[in-house]
A and B are shown apart, each in its own frame.
Chain A
């Protein structure tokens, strides 16, 4: 009986292990090896840290790197600031019968592929786009303004793209927050501010952290939105990696960049968990 159970356990675990090993671990080992190889002056592949030295030596690389990290944090924070009131409204303010429909409305845009949604934004914001057209018609603008290809548009696009991944965990955590708790806080002399910062946010912390991790990782590794909405000036680190692999055909340099991005995201998430006093196993539940 015991033996049988062990076999069953192994059979169900096998696909996961294969997937992890073949598609994640193996390629990463190869990338790690590649990142420590470079062409020396004679065009021979040799071992060394040259790829990493290149990164720190060239300001455009590490500035893009820092910029990507900071903007990803900003995007994460903005999705939280917008997502919390939305999730609170859906779970606590409206009557229960509209809850499902409203959650569906949040979900609905994600039925469409990210590419299509981003082009949607571009149709709205470009120089000959809908927004410019309306502003010109109403006389608010004398001549059209290019609204795409700047940092603000790019951040807005990223916030929009990742919003769902913040709202869904927030809805599920706020769902379990009993109204009694909020009433009790008011009853004991709390005001809107202290209820928000002492009750709602501390209670929702596991949801906030898990939402933030997903949003942060998706933003940091996003390629499409910064590239299309941010344009040439977007300077997202994924574009640097893409350039190394595809444009320069320097896989070794690209691998090194890829690993640096992996280390960066791990480090920031570790810091975030430390600061919010959460542990990863609990947050991903």
Chain B
């Protein structure tokens, strides 16, 4: 496999503070790669090192097999979409897009045709004479992408460019960006703190926390098989318990949680009796009033605290009997559960296969 970008043991220190801590990864040509992490996790610093605005304290960055050490930003074959897009307000759309070509010394008569082709490609034909302040948020986005893509970068770096858009447009641009990337085949490296952006668009996602990569995987693996407690909690919603393993039978362990629930969980990891564990469970893994005939189910009684209606992602907030612990339960809007009201008593249950267990370190 060919790698457009290959990062090896890159570390960045600001004084005593380590912003990026020995991070390594490769991006396969033409992939949409995202880095997902909370703010302050070092993802922007990592991106700026690849663009050349910061210098790694240690490690190497290779773009298309070429070491980038000592190469200034304007000589690197990558381009960046900035958080606030950084379109030049004193130039019109065509001048903005032509900026890179002109700096590169492209012959004058070739610049305009290329700009027009690019505008058509991002779906803005006829916009070349518009001023930047005449464009909507989504149009600005596309101009910024066109301005970078016209230079044919090896990797396009995107620094949370959807953050400033309103929700509806953001949903729309997510799909559009993914489509555009698939069409042109340029490698995208996208950083965001919004898990939905990362999961929807990416081929691979790296989850970053405190300067380190927790897990690099496909979006569905991140969601279904998180490798660390941080990933389990950061990607999607999860209910968490901590408890002690009572015994182990083959792949099944029996856990007593700190709230005195007895749960049976299927584990792949090597978890020994009497070790403490973190147990995570997705809201949609919890069944409301599971059929009594079902086996291999952990059941317990709860009291409904409140109903959080949010269309397709509506949820129930429940407390186990005699406990203040809040548990989130997915509430499918299929009329079956319309009778549920706050203060109702329910039985909820979950399959032994649905829980995810991590031994505490």
Contacts and interface: CB of A to CB of B under 8 A. Distances in A.
Grouping DSSP codes into helix (H, G, I), strand (E, B) and loop, the A interface class, with mixed when no group exceeds half, is helix
Contacts of A180: 82-84, 86
Interface string B76-105: 000110111010111100000001100110
Nearest to A189: B103
A93 B91 CA distance: 25
B51 to A, nearest CB: 6
Contact of A186 (B73, B147, B151): B73
B82 A191 contact: no
A203 B90 contact: yes
A39 to B, nearest CB: 56
B53 interface: yes
A68 B88 CA distance: 38
Contacts of B79: 187-188
Contacts of A186: 72-74
Interface string A196-224: 00110011010000000000000000000
Contact of A188 (B53, B72, B83, B147): B147
Given A194-B103, A198-B99, A187 B88 contact: no
Contacts, number: 56
Given A189-B100, A189-B104, A184 B86 contact: yes
A189 B151 contact: yes
A181 interface: yes
B100 A188 contact: yes
A276 to B, nearest CB: 12
A178 interface: yes
Given A184-B80, A185-B99, A188-B100, A199 B88 contact: yes
B157 to A, nearest CB: 9
Contact of B73 (A178, A187, A199, A205): A187
A187 B51 contact: yes
A190 interface: yes
A187 B80 CA distance: 7
Contacts of A188: 74, 79, 99-100, 103, 147-148, 151
Contact of B53 (A181, A183, A189): A183
B343 to A, nearest CB: 52
Contacts of B53: 183
Nearest to B99: A188
A198 B88 CA distance: 9
Interface residues of A, number: 18
A206 to B, nearest CB: 10
A207 to B, nearest CB: 13
Contacts of A183: 53, 73, 80, 82, 86
A22 to B, nearest CB: 42
B29 to A, nearest CB: 21
Nearest to A205: B90
Nearest to B100: A188
Contact of A202 (B83, B90, B148): B90
Nearest to A201: B90
A187 B75 CA distance: 8
B81 to A, nearest CB: 9
A180 B83 CA distance: 8
A205 to B, nearest CB: 7
A181 B88 contact: yes
B303 to A, nearest CB: 51
Given A180-B86, A203-B90, A190 B80 contact: no
Name the residue among A178, A198, A205 with the largest chain B CB count within 10 angstroms. Answer: A198
Interface in B173-207: none
A188 B96 CA distance: 10
A187 B151 CA distance: 11
B356 to A, nearest CB: 40
A135 B302 CA distance: 93
A244 B279 CA distance: 96
Contacts of A199: 88
A83 B250 CA distance: 78
A213 B121 CA distance: 45
A202 B83 CA distance: 22
A203 B89 contact: yes
B99 A190 contact: yes
Contacts of B151: 188-189
Name the residue among A184, A190, A198, A203 with the largest chain B CB count within 10 angstroms. Answer: A184
Name the residue among A186, A187, A198, A202 with the largest chain B CB count within 10 angstroms. Answer: A187
Contacts of A203: 88-90
Contacts of A187: 51, 73-74, 79-80, 148
B47 to A, nearest CB: 11
B162 to A, nearest CB: 16
Kindly list the 5 A-B residue pairs having the minimum CB-CB distance in the complex, ordered from nearest. Answer: A184-B86, A188-B100, A189-B103, A180-B86, A202-B90
28 contacts: A180-B83, A180-B84, A180-B86, A181-B86, A181-B88, A183-B53, A183-B73, A185-B88, A186-B72, A186-B74, A187-B80, A187-B148, A188-B99, A188-B103, A188-B151, A189-B74, A189-B103, A189-B104, A189-B151, A190-B103, A194-B103, A198-B88, A198-B99, A202-B90, A202-B91, A203-B88, A203-B89, A205-B90
Given A183-B73, A188-B103, A194-B103, 11 more contacts: A178-B86, A180-B83, A183-B82, A184-B80, A186-B72, A188-B79, A188-B100, A190-B74, A190-B99, A202-B90, A202-B91
